[in-house]
Amino acid sequence: MSTIPAPALQHICDVVAEIGPPIEVGQTPYGMRRLIPVIGGTVRGPAMNGRILPGGADFQCLYEENQLAQLDARYVMELDDGARIWVENSAMRVMSAENAARMMRSEPVNPDEVYFRCQPHMEAASPAWDWVNRSQFVGSGIRRPDGVFISFYRMV
């Protein structure tokens, strides 16, 4: 059997999520739990443009002295045509202990030294955006002290 070709990626948009101060739950038996409020942001790209509405959050569980993070962000994008897109974005972020300590102190970290990949799931009610209900997406991210920067790609 021959190898099945890998899917191609179509750039959809770049998301800049503005975040509030973390709400620390603390070390639980399952890891260090935190909630990061999503307070706004922008969506810009070849297929989507708009803004992130306030009220979302990134639910985090950190392991291995914060070197490994499982992230579960949920928020709403309001596009320029008024349509709203529900986003559930599961991600993994991996970095060295030194970079994890810098990030926890809200210091810049070189994005080339961090593995940050995600699988956004999107839902739309508007018929014009029904294609997002019928597509799979992946993304790459960068975490900076002032926000989270993610590029979304549709697998085609």
Tell me the pLDDT band of 146, cut-offs 50, 70 and 90.
Answer: confident
**pLDDT the model gives residue 104:** 86
**pLDDT the model gives residue 65:** 86
* Mean pLDDT within 19-47: 96
Residue 84 exposed, middle or buried by CB count within 10 Å (0-12, 13-18, 19+): middle
Residue 13: is its pLDDT beyond 90? yes
**pLDDT the model gives residue 38:** 97
Cα separation, 117 vs 69, whole angstroms: 11
Task: Please give the radius of gyration of the chain, using alpha carbons only, rounded to the nearest integer.
Answer: 16
SS3 state of residue 70: strand
Domains of the chain: 9-155 (2.40.160.20)
Q: Which residue has the tokens 């320029």?
A: 80
Contact 94, 113 (CB under 8 A): no
* Mean pLDDT within 22-44: 96
Contact 10, 131 (CB under 8 A): no
